Amino acid sequence: MQKRKLGKSNLEVSAIGLGCMGMSFSYGPPKDKPEMIKLLRAAVDRGVTLFDTAEVYGPYTNEELLGEALEPFKGRVVIATKFGFDLSPHLDARGMKAAPGVDSKPERIRHAVDGSLKRLRVDAIDLLYQHRVDRAVPIEDVAGTVKELIRGGKVKHFGMSEAGAKTIRRAHAVQPVTAVQSEYSLWTRGPEAEVLPALEELGIGFVPYSPLGRGFFTGKMDANTKFDAGDFRSSLPRFTPEAMKANQALVELLGQIAARKNATPGQIALAWLLAQKPWIVPIPGTTKLHRLEENLGAAAIALTPVDLREIESAAAKIQIQGVRYPERLEQMTGH
């Protein structure tokens, strides 16, 4: 597996990482724990060194899974986790359990880090992201708290997720940011306007999540696809039957390139991301070994300038239907 450095930080990781959320959270019921431990260790065997989790995934159970699975590989892998949500139980106006709101108060960050260290079974968190910007807490206070945690030996690198360019600059001035994680793929290209240029200027790495369009780019979904009740894609505007039917044009484009390259549509989607910048490290998620191997195979696919121009030109003509999140969740991004 090829390696890449996340910006100027000298944090070197595999060119493709592994997003672990779906093993415990968001995509239907949690998967079988022994099977997921086996999969995580298979990923290490195949050269993956960047594993992505978060306190809120479960909550807590995804970090516990990684802690158990990756404990034998201490020092050989990089585990990234995230803070930034209030996970104390709340009820909404109807008396139902409410979704967690953002919370990046300094005491909350310190509490989250202590919990993550225990669950991950590590002495220091390799890469700690603020999961979502908290507009109630100045970003300088957040970065300053992480700076103290780095000085105290509990954290090695600071990251941000779904932050806007101005906020990244303000945080970076207090504590250098190693990586920014945001959604980025052929159907979510918002970071290109301001975030990617800022990261290039500041020497910050970029870690795209959902690089396969939450599985859509694999070509295994269509307007007839039905999602489990616990699968959060059932609530996303891009995954209505009408939107999936309209957005098939993008999968067909990937399929055309894939046929020429003896590859799969998903591999072309990942190879396209890798070709954008040498400091981009996508983290596709999966719960299946054959899919893991397919994803990792994308690192060996070289797209020529002609291929990239063809993808760019054809993608520009495709009107993506459906925003990526319902409004409540979209409000948490891009500050």
- Residue written as token pair 């070509």: 219
Average pLDDT estimate for 250-276: 97
**By the 8 A CB rule, do 251 and 217 touch?**
yes
Q: Which residues contact 137 (CB under 8 A, 6 or more apart)?
A: 104, 105, 106
Which pLDDT score, from 0 to 100, does residue 329 have?
75
Mean pLDDT lowest among 72-81, 86-95, 287-296: 86-95
Does 95 have pLDDT greater than 90? no
Q: Say what the pLDDT of residue 92 is.
A: 67
How far is it, in rounded angstroms, from Cα 272 to Cα 277? Answer: 10
Query: CA 171 to CA 166: how far, in whole Å?
Result: 9
For residue 94, is pLDDT > 90? no
Whether the per-residue pLDDT at 33 is higher than 90: the answer is: yes
Q: Give the torsion through C-alpha atoms of 74, 75, 81, 83, to 10 deg.
A: 100
pLDDT value at 91 more than 70 = no
**23-27, 207-211, 288-292: range with lowest mean pLDDT:** 23-27
User: Band of the pLDDT at 318, cuts 50, 70, 90?
Assistant: very high
- pLDDT tier at 335 (50, 70, 90 boundaries)? confident
> Structurally, what CATH architecture does the domain formed by 3-214+277-301 represent?
Alpha-Beta Barrel (3.20)
Alpha-carbon gap, residue 327 to 332, rounded angstroms: 9
pLDDT band at 229 (very low <50, low <70, confident <90, very high): confident
> d(Cα 254, Cα 266) in Å, to the nearest integer?
8
Q: Is the pLDDT of residue 138 over 70?
A: yes
The pLDDT value recorded for residue 325 is: 82
What mean pLDDT comes out for the span 24-36? Answer: 94
- The answer on pLDDT for 98 being more than 90 is no
- CA dist 264 and 253 (Å) reads 11
The residue written with tokens 């592994």 in the block is: 18
Which pLDDT belongs to residue 80? Answer: 98
Q: Which two tokens stand for residue 320?
A: 């993506």
pLDDT of residue 130: 98
Count of positions (residues) in the chain: 335
At 28, is the pLDDT very low, low, confident or very high (cuts 50, 70, 90)?
Answer: confident
Q: Global pTM?
A: 0.96
- Residue 291 makes CB contacts below 8 A (sequence gap 6+) with 218
Instruction: Identify whether 57 is a catalytic site residue.
Output: yes
| Residue among 151, 9, 169 at smallest CA distance from 80 | 9
What is the tens place of the pLDDT at every residue in 207-226?
A: 999 999 999 999 999 999 99
> Is 70 exceeded by the pLDDT of residue 313?
yes
SS3 59: coil
- Spatial CA neighbour of 82 closest among 202, 193, 192, 163: 163
User: What pLDDT is attached to residue 3?
Assistant: 98
